[in-house]
Structure 1
Amino acid sequence: MRFILTVFCFLLMVGAFAQPGITEMQQAQQNLSSSFFSAFDCALVIATLLGLNGAIKIYHNWQMGKDRIDADVAAWFFAAIFITLSGAFLRALFGI
């Protein structure tokens, strides 16, 4: 029984040596930080275009006299807040 337990512990130790080290983790963070800003900028451009589209839609409905545009305005406003906060959250999450 002790022999099986010793072999099992040895196999666990071998698996632990196969994990990536600090150098690999720093390289992964560097790769992520180099591509994150271009993806973040692209996301901001897309968010801006969609935000303008929503604002124009709401303005058009308002000028046409559509009743109850309050829900559209609230949805547009909270979507803009969500997009702004999600960028900050992702930057904090990845440590960039």
Structure 2
Amino acid sequence: MRAIIAFCLWVTGMPALAQPGIAEMQQARHELVNTYFSAFDCALVLATLFGLFGAVTIYKNWQDGKHHIDAAVSGWFYAAIFVLLSGIFLRALFGI
């Protein structure tokens, strides 16, 4: 009878040992924060590159005599805005 009780206590204590501790959870959060800010910085750089490349392309088209560039302006502008908003959305999604 004692063996059965000892076995039951041992089995019920096993899941508690398998759970990650506070240190592991803090380490995972720290890694997520570091990775997220690297990705957010990358999104800012991409938005800047989209804006600069779009400005150069639009300026070239304007100088070549193509004065109907409304679609190109809106396309490059909205591409940069989309990248910036995706970074903000990820910040809200992960709560960082």
- Answer yes or no: same fold by TM over 0.5: yes
- Aligned twin of 1:75: 75
Supply the RMSD in Å over aligned alpha carbons: 2.5
- Aligned twin of 2:65: 65
> Quick one: which amino acid aligns to residue 49 of structure 2?
L
Moved over 3 A (4+): 19-27
Structure 2: which 5+ runs fail to align?
Answer: 1-14
Q: Is residue 56 from structure 1 mapped to residue 56 from structure 2 by the alignment?
A: yes
Q: CA 1:20–1:52 in structure 2 vs 1: closer, same or farther (change >3 Å)?
A: farther
- Aligned twin of 2:28: 28
In structure 2, distance between residues paired with 1:20 and 1:59: 59
TM-score (norm 1): 0.66
> Quick one: which amino acid aligns to residue 75 of structure 1?
G
Quick one: higher RCO (CA 8 Å, sep 6+), 1 or 2? 2
- Aligned twin of 2:92: 92
In structure 2, distance between residues paired with 1:20 and 1:82: 39
- SS of residue in 2 equivalent to 1:29: helix
Q: Which one has the largest radius of gyration? A: 2
- Aligned twin of 2:10: none
- Aligned twin of 2:7: none
